[in-house]
Chain A
């Protein structure tokens, strides 16, 4: 067997976390940064070593050391990209917390390293119960991160985060227990090919939905997210928005769609309905927020609705678009939270009204903030555009009403982001203290510049990110296409006979 790179990536941060607890604050920072950089290096090796077009599951490890379930790891392209996203954001999080976290630094760094191990574990697990353990275990460090280093109202937010997600996941556990009995295996790749009885699928799908919808989060179970985001420290918000929310989407791709294709097709109306409400409702809510972090949190809910719409469109454009939105949103919303963190560290308030005119005294900051605002809106050439466009194309093929409503989300998104930017960066400063804030430090440059580069890369040449995932989308489509509900767009490829005006016009989009 070759070098167990995935096990190393999970166990190394755990070991580092145990080490940091016993170190001084400065040493803990250095160790944490060093470990996350090593993991970033391993992540790049993983990407480099991933054989595109090779077997679906690569870097497979299997050690049946737990009796009922196994230490089974392995990744496909989708998991690979999400792992790369996690290890990419992690050193940035450590850097972002370098000065802003002053109390109990060793424990803080340990919690983040633990979090990183668990995130990689979630994406790499090939055993259903191992997945569940990693999925749930992430609650503990996040609970502590919000509760110890969070804002004024942190305790309520930490409870809400923990109990909300726990309740959803427990129902999923019951479903998993039933599935392992029915299929006689806990191996995820085998389960993805197993045909569960159609009448049982509905219940199983709903149980998994309870968990992933909360994690995603989908309207109306999104209410934990604004609280958690607002109260969490900056780096906590970055990880929450950047990676933890992606676990919901990953769950849909890994479990709900391939394992219960019939139920997914039957309940597509539920997902579409909730997503349509989410896009419009949370965008409107974002428009009237006074708190910067809350605004971005609500925008996350709206963006995640594009993911669910794309995934349940049951076609290639939709699913590929959803995957790209997940990656792009991980970068862009993470960066936006970092932007908020930069000015929060100076003025210690998130209230939008306290800022203004930052483009005068912080020109570089205003530039970065504008860049990520544009990315979030979906400006062509930046990361979000590709994914959102594909997801909408997919949605249009599935249901034109959904596509129409979802598109208004883009307009509203532009409205609330530009409104936010105007209030923060333009106009006059709200006070002396605002006007005298210094521009970005080199450390802050180091956190934002890599994300900006990645955002541009993904916007200009998304193929680098799409290529490893394409075969997995093909495999997923092969599994679900037989149940795909009929779309109402009645698209016709190639105009062999006179086509109706609107479908011909749309046919060019392919």
Chain B
């Protein structure tokens, strides 16, 4: 494959990179006045990148692969990035922190994510991951005059750098013992038995990646970063990078380590159960809605890993289904959090301020309740289907204890989701919220709420077919 063909494969990334560079110039020349234009242009670039998906093949001598799997996950990433950009303008305008660099940083992070999900070589993986992370560190501390935001950025950076170091160490071990960084070559090397060095390499790589997806025991940064980062950034962190990191983990485990399932399956089972249980227990005592959603994301990653731990095609397809539904629920819940503005327009994050919301803003409360019941996995909401497919995959792979413990532990999770519904519906109203005045936020809430409502079940055959095609690309 010639260099031109290889470059054409990366067309979505090229579109985004070109747009990011051009918009950076606009930002430099016009300044912060152009923020709204830059935001819209960035969303346009994401749509353009989505349209230019569809290339098939392996480029750059095996460094980069464009297939159904990468297309599916990139589409999801672009969707999540686009919606979080849409939600950002109003928030930053209210805080008087409208900066034209913000959409550019989001685009650059998204380019990194595209590299992550297409990487078929440990080095592409690392470069993509770092590109995404560096932009993300800046985004986390975007409200730099706010102490919590600055702290979030610093924490994210220090712990992220540590995780990158662990990951790189694992990569070097794998390279040292198998003599290659190419996924398929590693798989061939692991097929004739896993030696001690390779095993350590696998453990370190998985540890580094667990940090990126915020799985227990590498989850400590999540609550602080989610709470400290500005809410639109948290929305972004909760969706797009999660999809990218999970997709990356899927590709590494299936394509590079698929011949040594036994050596990583137990690790995933442990992180999965630990995330489900710790995410659920940790959330119970939270009083800040963003912290609570951070623990909820840890909890959800646990369920995602249940599907991946199966190590089968059905498991990968289930993981992707879960991510789609998870992204919808997360976007919706954070859009609801963005609507939590006190009477003076200042954002509040205290869960108690939701008290009696069902009487003040019935529509918002109903949507929030739908997201909470859905995250808890209660039928007939779509969140149930997400859990259904991952546990189905685990049961089919014979992982009965994992399925039984995991699903029983989801009852603990249901408790704190119920707590939010209780506060909104059973408690007496206390604080007054400013009325909803943003069509963007309201329509995002309405669309995602309809999507996770029982109406979303009609999309199951389509979703199932799409994820099955995407999963097939890895086997």
Contact = CB atoms under 8 A, between A and B. Distances in A.
A167 B408 contact: yes
Interface stretch (A169-177, A276-284, A315-323): A169-177
A151 B363 CA distance: 26
A170 B461 contact: no
Contact of B426 (A21, A67, A148): A148
A359 to B, nearest CB: 38
Nearest to A106: B362
26 contacts: A66-B460, A66-B461, A67-B461, A68-B388, A68-B464, A129-B388, A136-B379, A137-B378, A137-B379, A137-B380, A139-B378, A143-B418, A144-B425, A147-B425, A158-B426, A159-B422, A163-B415, A166-B414, A167-B408, A174-B391, A177-B391, A177-B392, A177-B395, A177-B403, A178-B400, A181-B395
Contacts of A163: 411, 414-415, 418
A254 B16 CA distance: 56
A134 B379 CA distance: 8
B373 interface: yes
Given A171-B404, A178-B395, A181-B392, 9 more contacts: A66-B460, A67-B460, A67-B461, A68-B392, A143-B421, A163-B411, A170-B411, A171-B408, A177-B395
A158 B379 contact: no
A465 interface: no
Contacts of A171: 404, 407-408
Contacts of B404: 171, 174
Contacts of B1: none
A264 to B, nearest CB: 21
A53 B418 CA distance: 47
A66 B388 CA distance: 13
A135 B262 CA distance: 37
A147 B379 contact: no
B461 A65 contact: yes
A162 B379 contact: no
Contacts of A159: 415, 418, 422
A188 interface: no
A159 B396 CA distance: 33
B37 interface: no
A155 interface: yes
Interface in A117-147: 129, 132-134, 136-137, 139-140, 143-144, 147
Interface in A89-134: 104, 107, 129, 132-134
A136 B425 CA distance: 20
Main secondary structure of the interface of A (DSSP, over half): helix
Nearest to B464: A67
A154 interface: yes
Given A68-B464, A144-B425, A177-B403, A166 B411 contact: yes
A68 B414 CA distance: 25
B92 interface: no
Nearest to A64: B461
Interface of A: 21, 65-68, 104, 107, 129, 132-134, 136-137, 139-140, 143-144, 147-148, 154-155, 158-159, 162-163, 166-167, 170-171, 173-174, 177-178, 181
Contacts of B379: 132-133, 136-137
Interface in B398-418: 400, 403-404, 407-408, 410-411, 414-415, 418
B395 A167 contact: no
B407 A154 contact: no
B175 interface: no
A134 B378 CA distance: 10
In the complex, the 7 A-B pairs of residues with the closest C-beta atoms, listed nearest first: A67-B461, A133-B379, A177-B395, A167-B411, A67-B460, A170-B407, A147-B426
Interface string B453-475: 00001101100100000000000
B128 to A, nearest CB: 33
Interface residues of B, number: 32
A170 B388 CA distance: 10
Contact of A155 (B400, B411, B422, B461): B422
A159 B423 CA distance: 12
A174 B411 contact: no
B384 interface: yes
A211 B218 CA distance: 35
Contacts of A181: 392, 395-396
Contacts of A170: 407-408, 410-411
B283 to A, nearest CB: 15
A154 B384 CA distance: 26
A162 B414 contact: yes
A216 B458 CA distance: 32
Contacts of A67: 460-461, 464
Contact of A65 (B403, B410, B411, B458): B458
Contacts of A136: 378-379, 384
Contacts of B407: 170-171, 173-174
A148 B380 contact: no
Find the residue from A140, A148, A163 having the highest chain B CB count within 10 A: A140
A232 B437 CA distance: 37
Find the residue from B421, B426, B458 having the highest chain A CB count within 10 A: B426
B408 A158 contact: no
Contacts of A133: 379-380, 384
A68 B460 contact: yes
B284 to A, nearest CB: 12
B402 to A, nearest CB: 10
Contacts of A162: 414, 418
A148 B414 CA distance: 18
Nearest to B414: A166
A21 B366 CA distance: 11
Interface in B412-460: 414-415, 418, 421-422, 425-426, 457-458, 460
A474 to B, nearest CB: 33
A52 B295 CA distance: 55
Nearest to B457: A66
Find the residue from B359, B379, B464 having the highest chain A CB count within 10 A: B379
Contacts of B388: 68, 129, 173, 177
Contacts of A143: 418, 421
Contacts of B461: 65-67
Contacts of A173: 388, 391, 407
B422 A158 contact: yes
Nearest to A135: B379
A66 to B, nearest CB: 5
Contacts of B421: 143
Contacts of B380: 133-134, 137
Contacts of B373: 140
B400 A174 contact: yes
A117 to B, nearest CB: 10
A173 B387 CA distance: 11
Nearest to B409: A170
A147 B395 contact: no
A129 B379 CA distance: 10
Contacts of A134: 380
Contacts of A140: 373, 378
Nearest to A172: B407
A147 B391 contact: no
A343 to B, nearest CB: 26
Nearest to B463: A67
A167 B358 CA distance: 27
Contacts of B358: 107
